[in-house]
Amino acid sequence: MAGHKSVINRREFLGTLVASGCSLWIPSASSAPNGPSHSPQADHDSAIRDAIKKAENFEHDYRDDIYLERRQLRLLRQCLQRLTRVQQYVGYGNFNLIDLDRARRYARLYSAIGEFTAAEMAFIESIYHVDAQQYGFLGKRLSASLTDTIQRRDVRKIPGSGHYLYRGEALAVYEKMRKRIGTQLELTSGIRGVVKQLHLFLAKASKSGGNLSRAARSLAPPGHSYHGIGDFDVGQRGLGAANFTSAFSKTGIYRQLLDMGLIKMRYPYANPYGVRHEPWHIKVVKDA
Ligand SMILES: [Zn+2]
């Protein structure tokens, strides 16, 4: 028997996007059996088991993954390019904090960016508001609204990194690490507002050919990232983008952090969020 719940979820998901002018292309194998469902709890447990299994091979396309249809993928890429132009205008560091209203204001004011079209805004709204569980991301929604803002007085810029941390616990945890490990440890990603997370998620979904499920195995969808409320990523200076791969877990920095008991991992293997193992991501805030 076909996975009844998962078919309904897809229909609801489709409905949400259609309501905002969006629709999805769903692979023909999407009605593949998911096993019998007994209760919401059993469904939830089975969704977690499924997500954990898929996260082992997070870059793989699975046959029940959720894809954007072609027209929506084009729209996604249009939004992505416009957001990239906003980032070029405000600078890499500021882009971590910018809110959507401000991004739209700059887009309207500067012809080099160009105003967001109504279709792009509808797409952004639908990507933000849709229930991400329906494409396999099991974490909670953590931001209150698409237009959430980050107050400058609440954050501190970390010199030389292009990133920010919240004053208070996040900053204290990072400073303790730097004190113990030294300058070989660097902040590779700190606070990320909704716009920054949206940009990252759209970039990942674009690279994944519109496969939202695959994108969400590597990256929390906008509004669902703990980077919005305090978590941060660390790496070894000079390692570059490899800091966001399994190479990081082979570095001296990682070994030292572990030995000193300074790593609290948000995304260990088999985590309940459906996200790949991320040894570089430091958990600061409690689970939502
Ligand atoms: Zn992270």
Query: What is the whole-number distance in angstroms between the Cα of residue 229 and the centre of ligand 1?
Result: 11
51: how many CB neighbours lie within 10 A of its CB? Answer: 22
- What is the reported pTM? 0.86
CA 21 to chain centroid, in Å, comes to 23
* Residue 37: predicted pLDDT: 54
Nearest by Cα to 287 from 231, 238, 248: 231
Res 32 pLDDT > 60: no
Question: How many Å apart are CA 145 and CA 156, to the nearest integer?
Answer: 23
Amino acid (one-letter) located at 128:
Y
Query: What is the whole-number distance in angstroms between the Cα of residue 177 and the centre of ligand 1?
Result: 16
Query: What is the whole-number distance in angstroms between the Cα of residue 100 and the centre of ligand 1?
Result: 21
- Res. 58 pLDDT band, cuts 50 70 90: confident
* Residue 10: predicted pLDDT: 53
* Residue 48: predicted pLDDT: 83
Please tell me which residue, 255 or 273, carries the higher pLDDT value. Answer: 255
Query: What is the whole-number distance in angstroms between the Cα of residue 195 and the centre of ligand 1?
Result: 16
CA 275 to chain centroid, in Å, comes to 9
Mean pLDDT of 82-99: 98
CA 64 to chain centroid, in Å, comes to 20
* Residue 36: predicted pLDDT: 53
CATH code, residues 4-30+41-140+153-282 = 3.30.1380.10
Mean pLDDT of 209-226: 95
Query: What is the whole-number distance in angstroms between the Cα of residue 4 and the centre of ligand 1?
Result: 34
* Residue 1: predicted pLDDT: 36
Query: What is the whole-number distance in angstroms between the Cα of residue 267 and the centre of ligand 1?
Result: 9
pLDDT in tens, 137-178: 999 999 989 999 999 999 999 999 999 999 999 999 999 999
- Res. 13 pLDDT band, cuts 50 70 90: low
- Res. 263 pLDDT band, cuts 50 70 90: confident
Question: How many Å apart are CA 52 and CA 130, to the nearest integer?
Answer: 22
- Of 8-22, 146-160, 190-204, 220-234, give the lowest mean pLDDT range: 8-22
Mean pLDDT of 255-265: 92
* Residue 168: predicted pLDDT: 96
Q: CA 88, 143, 83 angle in degrees (round to 5)? A: 20
Amino acid (one-letter) located at 75:
L
Radius of gyration of the chain from Cα atoms?
Answer: 19
Question: How many Å apart are CA 252 and CA 97, to the nearest integer?
Answer: 31
Question: How many Å apart are CA 24 and CA 142, to the nearest integer?
Answer: 25
pLDDT in tens, 93-130: 999 999 999 999 999 999 999 999 999 999 999 999 99
Query: What is the whole-number distance in angstroms between the Cα of residue 234 and the centre of ligand 1?
Result: 8
Res 4 pLDDT > 50: no
Please tell me which residue, 89 or 273, carries the higher pLDDT value. Answer: 89
Mean pLDDT of 42-56: 81
Over the range 138-154, which residues count as b (16 or more CB within 10 Å of their CB) and which as e? bbebbbeebeeebeeee
* Residue 15: predicted pLDDT: 53
- Res. 198 pLDDT band, cuts 50 70 90: very high
162: how many CB neighbours lie within 10 A of its CB? Answer: 17
Question: How many Å apart are CA 161 and CA 178, to the nearest integer?
Answer: 13
DSSP 48-77: HHHHHHHHHTTTSPPTT--EE-HHHHHHHH
| Residue 24 bridge partners (DSSP) | 68
* Residue 30: predicted pLDDT: 41
SS3 call for 234: strand
* Residue 12: predicted pLDDT: 54
Question: How many Å apart are CA 205 and CA 213, to the nearest integer?
Answer: 9
